[in-house]
């Protein structure tokens, strides 16, 4: 199908991408149809898709997609649909609990909210008195009420408010920010040539990228080149799959740059106008020939050369896709930097079908006089060890190392919101050691996660379908502001995070920072939405979005990029000043010894986070994880599918069943995340399969501090 | 004003190395409170659809923000007391310089 025909079909209202069928310009001001259900926003993963909750007689009957969101469009995935079961799951936390036995013993005493608040506040005060506010750690993952948890930690005076990005995408965001001053989106709807390296976008769903990739490759016949040691669903739909040697993506990209620059296939006018450091880059990539890269990547030089030429020819409608979870190797930042540079030199910046700087939807803010800045520096010493990383987010693994050593000072209280560090961090043994050395551990969650299982007090949070949250802006090519409103009354004795923060704040003398309701907070945000009667609009529609993409707004002579020089920095002085390579330098990764394998990880549509494996509908698709191993080593080790294996690394040992498959390189093994739970209250996955976090060793990217989760070698044998 | 001698030598080295949020001899206020006062005092007019051009820390470089505060004038009038007390203006200046368009921390990861 021709692009024009496809766009016309979209304009005519195909079911593929319904929002584009709307003829409105600017903000979407009203819904196209009668919205059957309560508009709210999914929370099962970071995508935050809009949905309509159908409620009958006070119970959730169905969740439907809300087509008014230009980002999630008329799509709600399997994970999103499974949220109903989360509400009615008998494994949910139903009331506050205080530990009655040893940590991890599973003995709990149900208590009132007052008793839980008093208990936690007294413990926090005791730690503060002995070690100062910096003796407390407040860690969380993303969520609309995360702001209240973070605020409580900051108001308490702790510098150790720890967010999740260094377990996720910090190396990618830092690499693109260092180069462009911002993190762009990739216009997969309009790209003609897409390279994805390990971003398994057909299985690990990101909206709108997954839908756009389907539209682009399946309908519009855009070219998809896919690099991955595993034959994934994305590989099966790609035009080319190259089972690249793990850890060598940077060599592939540098060789592409070598071809494009030495053959002068780059966008000369764009490079001249908008970038800094081209001459240094040209000299830098000369040794990185395709013949050299073939030896590193095991991808034929002829293929690398052909792909580089085709990529440059297709530009600006060509993208080397950034990926999202970028916690792979210790050189991850430099690999993502090379991606960013490759994209820059072909001039796909801010063009249709290229990379597009994100737009945002304006919203208001509930403001109040904040607390004093903390007096102590952070325990992870991020400013000293990772001066370019986001200091407010922190660096998780170096933090754990310092807490275990007790340097630069002791941390003895750990509050955790909506996160399961026992699975989110590599080396579960170390995380458990960190928990055990705490005087106090408090967890806020909707289910008894493995971390909650080892806590002293567990605060049950209301499910997202039972509460109202702040308005959140989702930046992108099709940005949206989304609203999460209560669809049903809380089923159990649970509270939203704001109420939990208020309960603790009252006892900690911090009520001045929480003297408002969620309604007041949201109304302040809604006041500045780009629609009339913002609050009323959100209650009726749940979303404000921009339907029309804008291209080229930063392609003008006066635009200053948010970098040190104001240009797109191919060569980075700031990196050089901080002691890092100003241009990406390749170092060959260590290879597993003959009797070992590299453990690699990945996601699929029905499992992204460890918290999802216990949900019945998702569990039906993933009853137990297994270890993918290639037939060649399997034969050598006399392993057959279904055999119980013992897999060990320097961090730990697990038992897991074998899946013998040619869909993985012989030097790697693969397993899904989120199984082998210790918590007996997660009945479907308690002691079922194995936890990757037990095997993964501690390693991080040198520049961003991002966890490096593909640096572990394991020994595999029959149990 | 915070005594400059109280800033450890290692921190000085780091700040200089990074092209630094705070220059030698420059007083430092509260980043957190600066954000609040900036929104309260400046964003009331300097917002999209407001009576003046929208402003964020990214609207200027660190040097440009310094120049603005060194001049100490807003529409020909002294910044203080019109836009805040001297302490509040120091907080605003700290916030804006720390997150200026050429600063080391201009943008966060978000979700």
Whole-number Å distance between alpha carbons of B98 and B56: 12
Please tell me which residue of chain B has the smallest CA distance to A569. B102
CA atoms within 13 A on the CB side of A638: 2
Residue B15 pLDDT exceeds 60? no
Q: Is residue A290 part of a domain?
A: yes
Summarised one tens digit per residue, pLDDT across range A368-409 is 999 999 999 999 999 999 999 999 999 999 999 999 999 999
A438 in the same domain as A515: yes
Q: From the DSSP assignment, how many helices (H) and strands (E) are in chain B?
A: 5, 2
Write down the pLDDT at residue A220.
86
Whole-number Å distance between alpha carbons of A51 and A53: 6
Q: How would residue B10 be classed by pLDDT, with cut points 50, 70 and 90? A: very low
Q: Is residue A281 part of a domain?
A: yes
Whole-number Å distance between alpha carbons of A521 and A468: 11
Q: How far is B61 from chain A (nearest CA, A)?
A: 9
Asked if A371 and B110 come within 8 Å (Cβ–Cβ), the reply is: no
Select from A312, A319, A326, A257 the least CA-distant residue to A288: A257
CB-based contact, B19 to chain A, within 8 Å:
yes
For B39, the closest of A365, A373, A390 (CB atoms) is: A365
Asked if B106 and A383 come within 8 Å (Cβ–Cβ), the reply is: no
CB-based contact, A565 to chain B, within 8 Å:
yes
Select from A77, A16, A65 the least CA-distant residue to A41: A65
Whole-number Å distance between alpha carbons of A139 and A165: 11
Q: Is residue A78 part of a domain?
A: no
Residue A33 pLDDT exceeds 50? no
CB-based contact, A181 to chain B, within 8 Å:
yes
CB-based contact, B66 to chain A, within 8 Å:
no
For B105, the closest of A390, A560, A565 (CB atoms) is: A390
CB-based contact, A367 to chain B, within 8 Å:
yes
Summarised one tens digit per residue, pLDDT across range A47-87 is 999 999 999 999 999 999 999 999 998 899 999 999 999 99
Select from A487, A503, A569 the least CA-distant residue to A275: A569
Helices (H), A607-718: 616-621, 631-636, 692-695
Write down the pLDDT at residue A607.
87
Mean pLDDT within A563-591 = 97
A330 in the same domain as A243: yes
Provide ipTM, 2 decimals.
0.80
Q: Tell me whether residue A454 is exposed, middle or buried, using C-beta atoms within 10 angstroms of its C-beta: 0 to 12, 13 to 18, 19 or more.
A: buried
Summarised one tens digit per residue, pLDDT across range A310-362 is 999 999 999 999 988 889 999 999 999 999 999 999 999 999 999 999 999 99
CA atoms within 13 A on the CB side of A388: 32
CB-based contact, B87 to chain A, within 8 Å:
no
A428 in the same domain as A285: no
Which own/partner contact pairs does A553-556 have at CB distance under 8 Å and 24+ positions apart? Answer: A553/A350, A553/A357, A554/A349, A554/A350, A554/A357, A555/A274, A555/A349, A555/A350, A555/A351
Report chain B residues whose CB lies below 8 A from the CB of A373. 30-33
Report chain A residues whose CB lies below 8 A from the CB of B110. 475
Residue entry with tokens 């089923």: A491
Please tell me which residue of chain A has the smallest CA distance to B34. A370
Q: How many domains does chain A have?
A: 3
Q: Given strand A59-65, what is the order of strands in its sheet? A: A38-41, A50-56, A59-65
Distances from the Cα of A147 to the Cα of A144, A471, A553, A617, B37, angstroms: 7, 11, 31, 30, 19
Asked if B109 and A165 come within 8 Å (Cβ–Cβ), the reply is: yes
- Degrees to nearest 5, angle at CA A464 with A458 and A467: 95
Whole-number Å distance between alpha carbons of A676 and A695: 12
For B107, the closest of A169, A372, A562 (CB atoms) is: A562
A523 in the same domain as A399: yes
With beta carbons less than 8 A apart as the criterion, state whether A391 and A377 touch: no
Domain boundaries, chain B: 29-111
Domain span including residue A572: 181-358+552-577
Summarised one tens digit per residue, pLDDT across range A511-539 is 999 999 999 999 999 999 999 999 999 99
Mean pLDDT within A185-198 = 96
A656 in the same domain as A610: yes
Write down the pLDDT at residue A651.
98
Q: Is residue A347 part of a domain?
A: yes
Q: Is residue A478 part of a domain?
A: no
Asked if B17 and A566 come within 8 Å (Cβ–Cβ), the reply is: no
A346 in the same domain as A318: yes
Asked if A387 and B104 come within 8 Å (Cβ–Cβ), the reply is: yes
Task: Give the start-end residues of each E strand in A465-564.
Answer: 472-474, 480-482, 543-545
Write down the pLDDT at residue A22.
33
Residue A34 pLDDT exceeds 80? no
Question: CATH number for the domain including A294?
Answer: 3.40.228.10
Summarised one tens digit per residue, pLDDT across range A433-457 is 999 999 999 999 999 999 999 999 9
Select from A649, A647, A712, A700 the least CA-distant residue to A676: A647
A205 in the same domain as A269: yes
Select from A193, A189, A186 the least CA-distant residue to A215: A189
Mean pLDDT within A235-240 = 96
* Residues of chain A above pLDDT 70, percent: 95
Report chain B residues whose CB lies below 8 A from the CB of A369. 33, 36
A696 in the same domain as A617: yes
Whole-number Å distance between alpha carbons of A697 and A426: 6
- Degrees to nearest 5, angle at CA A88 with A87 and A94: 80
Both tokens of residue A108?
A: 């709990």
- Degrees to nearest 5, angle at CA A127 with A123 and A132: 145
Question: CATH number for the domain including A425?
Answer: 3.40.50.740
Report chain A residues whose CB lies below 8 A from the CB of B61. 560, 566
Second-level CATH architecture of B29-111: Orthogonal Bundle (1.10)
Question: CATH number for the domain including A642?
Answer: 2.40.40.20
CB-based contact, B47 to chain A, within 8 Å:
yes
Least confident of A443-457, A652-666, B87-101: B87-101
Instruction: Return mean pLDDT, chain A.
Output: 93
Asked if B36 and A369 come within 8 Å (Cβ–Cβ), the reply is: yes
């Amino acid at each position: 199908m021709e692009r024009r025909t496809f766009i016309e079909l979209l304009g005519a209202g195909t079911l593929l991408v319904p929002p584009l069928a709307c003829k409105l310009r600017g903000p979407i001001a009203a819904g196209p149809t009668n919205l059957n259900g309560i508009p709210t926003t999914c929370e099962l993963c970071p995508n935050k898709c809009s949905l309509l909750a159908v409620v009958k007689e006070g119970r959730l009957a169905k969740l439907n997609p809300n087509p008014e969101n230009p980002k999630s469009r008329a799509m709600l995935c399997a994970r999103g649909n499974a949220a109903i079961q989360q509400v009615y799951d008998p494994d949910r936390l139903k009331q506050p609990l205080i530990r009655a036995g040893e940590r991890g013993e599973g003995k709990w005493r149900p208590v009132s909210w007052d008793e839980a608040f008093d208990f936690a506040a007294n413990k926090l005060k005791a730690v503060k008195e002995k070690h100062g506010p910096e003796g407390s750690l407040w860690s969380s993952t993303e969520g609309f009420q995360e702001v209240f948890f973070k605020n409580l930690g900051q108001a308490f005076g702790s510098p150790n408010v720890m967010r999740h990005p260094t377990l996720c995408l910090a190396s990618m965001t830092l690499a693109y920010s260092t180069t462009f001053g911002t993190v762009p989106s990739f216009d997969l709807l309009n790209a003609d040539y897409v390279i994805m390296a390990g971003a398994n976008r057909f299985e690990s769903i990101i909206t709108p990228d997954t839908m756009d990739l389907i539209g682009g490759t399946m309908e519009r016949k855009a070219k998809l080149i896919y690099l991955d040691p595993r034959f994934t669903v994305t590989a099966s739909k790609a035009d080319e799959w190259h089972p690249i040697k793990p850890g060598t993506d940077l060599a592939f990209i540098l060789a592409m740059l070598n071809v494009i620059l030495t053959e002068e296939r780059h966008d000369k006018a764009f490079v001249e106008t908008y970038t800094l450091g081209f001459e240094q880059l040209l000299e830098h990539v000369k040794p990185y020939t395709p013949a050299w890269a073939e030896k590193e990547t095991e991808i034929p030089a002829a293929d690398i050369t052909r792909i580089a030429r085709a990529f440059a020819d297709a530009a600006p409608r060509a993208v080397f896709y950034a990926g999202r979870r970028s916690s792979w190797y210790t050189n991850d930042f430099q690999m993502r930097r090379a991606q960013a540079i490759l994209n820059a030199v072909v001039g796909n910046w801010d063009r249709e079908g290229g990379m597009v700087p994100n737009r945002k939807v304006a919203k208001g803010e509930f403001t109040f006089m904040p607390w004093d800045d903390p007096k102590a520096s952070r325990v992870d010493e991020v400013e000293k060890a990772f001066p370019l990383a986001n200091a407010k987010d922190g660096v998780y693994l170096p933090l754990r190392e310092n807490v275990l050593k007790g340097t630069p000072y002791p941390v003895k209280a750990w509050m955790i919101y909506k996160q399961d560090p026992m699975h989110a961090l590599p080396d579960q043994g170390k995380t458990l050691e960190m928990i055990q050395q705490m005087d106090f551990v408090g967890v806020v969650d909707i289910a008894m996660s493995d971390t909650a299982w080892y806590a002293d007090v567990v605060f049950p949070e209301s499910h997202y379908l039972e509460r109202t949250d702040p308005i959140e802006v989702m930046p992108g090519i099709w940005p949206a502001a989304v609203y999460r409103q209560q669809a049903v009354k809380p089923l159990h004795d649970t509270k939203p995070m704001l109420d939990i923060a208020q309960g603790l704040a009252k006892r900690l003398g911090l009520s001045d920072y929480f003297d408002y309701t969620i309604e007041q907070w949201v109304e302040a945000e809604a006041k500045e939405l780009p629609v009339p009667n913002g609050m009323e609009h959100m209650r009726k529609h749940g979303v404000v979005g921009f339907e029309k993409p804008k291209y080229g707004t930063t392609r003008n002579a006066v635009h200053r990029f948010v970098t040190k020089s104001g240009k797109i920095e191919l060569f980075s002085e700031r990196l050089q000043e901080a002691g890092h390579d100003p241009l990406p330098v390749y170092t060959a990764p260590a290879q597993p010894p003959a009797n070992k394998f590299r453990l690699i990880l990945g996601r699929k549509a029905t499992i992204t986070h460890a918290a999802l494996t216990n949900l019945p509908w998702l569990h039906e698709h993933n009853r137990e994880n297994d270890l993918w191993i290639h037939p060649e080593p399997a034969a050598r080790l006399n392993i057959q599918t279904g055999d119980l294996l013992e897999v060990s690394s320097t961090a730990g040992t697990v038992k897991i069943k074998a899946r013998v498959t040619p869909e993985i390189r012989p030097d790697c093994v693969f397993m899904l995340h989120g199984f082998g739970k210790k918590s007996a209250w997660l009945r479907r996955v308690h002691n079922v399969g194995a936890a990757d976090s037990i095997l993964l060793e501690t390693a991080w990217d040198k520049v961003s501090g991002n966890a490096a989760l593909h640096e572990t070698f394991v020994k595999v044998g029959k149990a | 004003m915070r005594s400059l001698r109280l800033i450890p030598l290692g921190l000085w080295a780091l700040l200089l190395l990074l092209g630094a949020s705070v220059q030698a001899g420059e007083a430092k206020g509260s980043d957190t409170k600066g954000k609040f006062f900036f929104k309260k005092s400046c964003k009331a007019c300097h917002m999209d659809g407001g009576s003046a051009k929208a402003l964020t820390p990214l609207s200027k470089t660190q040097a440009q923000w310094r120049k603005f505060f060194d001049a100490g004038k807003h529409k020909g009038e002294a910044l203080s007391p019109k836009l805040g007390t001297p302490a509040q203006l120091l907080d605003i200046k700290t916030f804006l310089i720390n997150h200026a368009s050429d600063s080391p921390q201009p943008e966060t990861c978000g979700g």
